[in-house]
Chains A and B, each alone.
Chain A
Amino acid sequence: MKVYILEDSADLGQLLCEFLSLEKGATCASATSFAQLVENPEPALSADLVVLDVNLGTGQPSGIDAYEWLRANGYRGRVIFLTGHGAGHPLVKKARAMSGVPVLEKPVEADRLLELL
């Protein structure tokens, strides 16, 4: 299983990769910004699952922008949004409105994360 994680916290991105490798034997890559994703899209486009943080920093393209970019560039795999914001934030609402894309609110318990993945 190949997983790609786009998360602006480098620590969390790396840890998620480590955790998924440990628990699921996944091959994992991570990036901290939309620019990094666009610069090196291959690990994301070839992944079975992409985990996108909704907010990638103030003034930066969001996880939703990344989702749209991935779909526009032929990615057909599973996507999960991860967010630290509340359900009322417009970006989170927009993410929730996308059919078939689960939105997980941080902090998610490790076991629950595994179940959902």
Chain B
Amino acid sequence: MVRPGNTPAHEAETELAWRSAVAACVVTALGQIGFGALGLREFGITPVLIGQVIHLLLATIVLVALLTTASRPSVRRAVVAFFVLFAPLPVLLWMSQSEMMTRGLPWAPFSGHKLVMIALAVLMPGPWAWPALFILLTAVLALLQFYVGGLASAPNTWTGEPWMTVVYAVMALLLLGFRAHHREVGRRYAQARAQADALTEMSRFFLALRDLQNTPIQTLEIDSAILERRHPESADAIKRMRRSIGELRDISRRLARYDRIVQWETESDRFDPEAALQWLERMHDELNEVEGPRRRRLQRENA
């Protein structure tokens, strides 16, 4: 159900952000369990393993927090979850690369960096600037470790680095750009759709008003015509009355243009203008109930 004040598009975006944050927690937890298990088997308990366990616990805590607030998801909370998950990564990635370098075993460096960059591009919600910043930070971290941290002179690394990681960073940024563009197009479409829906609803109410007033105007029209014939001595007054009726008739004709916008569902669709207006009044009351206290508070503040 759409909460008062939220559009369906906003609701969908919030839900997607929440799901992305949950997915990021699960991916982080599974990744750390997998890499941790491999590390434990090969090297035993190391500082990197301890860091991975801490990161796993952090991901679990964030996941529990997200699940307990599932009924009231928010984009901001989802973005904060990504911040918390990302925070220990620079240290952890640096430590793991340093450890592999000192062990002297052949390995492909920066695989964690690449995974993190792609995951950020695909999953992180909120403004695109944050994932872009994190991706750049991860790439810079890899470059720093390569040129300053001594990885460039390590004999046990693949020679394609650090440029392969830079290529991944560029790909991640392109992916992020595409995602941001896609989201913007979706947002514009949702906005256009909402406007079209609002126009259709508005047209329904204009038609409801027109349908409700047509019979009374017709009654006045015939009544004034009878009076005109029966009371020629009141011609001036009746003429004025008929002019006013003519104006009402013009309004009715102008409202008729909205008839083209409304699509009737079925042949047996009996449009009840009275029910339509009652529905509008109910909606107004409900909105007033939600918005009223906020509006009154603003009025007090302004006063």
Contacts and interface: CB of A to CB of B under 8 A. Distances in A.
Interface of A: 9, 11-12, 15-16, 18-19, 22-23, 55, 58-59, 62, 82, 84-91, 94, 105-111, 113
Given A87-B259, A88-B262, A94-B267, A22 B226 contact: yes
Give the dominant DSSP class at B's interface: helix
Nearest to B259: A86
A3 to B, nearest CB: 14
Contact of B225 (A19, A58, A62, A105): A19
A108 B221 contact: yes
Contacts of A89: 259, 264, 269, 271
B243 to A, nearest CB: 13
Contact of A90 (B210, B219, B264): B264
Contacts of A15: 219, 222-223, 226
Given A16-B222, A91-B270, A107-B221, A84 B211 contact: yes
Contacts of A16: 222
A85 B271 contact: yes
Interface of B: 207, 210-211, 214-215, 217-219, 221-226, 229-230, 245, 248-249, 252, 256, 258-260, 262, 264, 266-272, 274-275
Contact of A55 (B218, B226, B270): B270
Contacts of A22: 226, 229-230
A108 B225 CA distance: 12
B221 A110 contact: yes
Contacts of B264: 88-90
5 contacts: A12-B222, A84-B214, A107-B214, A107-B217, A113-B222
B217 to A, nearest CB: 4
A84 B215 contact: yes
A63 to B, nearest CB: 12
Residue in A23, A59, A88, A106 whose Cβ sees the most chain B Cβ within 10 Å: A106
A23 B226 CA distance: 9
A90 B252 contact: no
B294 to A, nearest CB: 36
B270 A106 contact: no
B42 to A, nearest CB: 74
A89 B210 CA distance: 13
Residue in B222, B225, B256, B259 whose Cβ sees the most chain A Cβ within 10 Å: B222
Given A15-B226, A16-B222, A18-B226, A86 B256 contact: yes
A91 B226 CA distance: 31
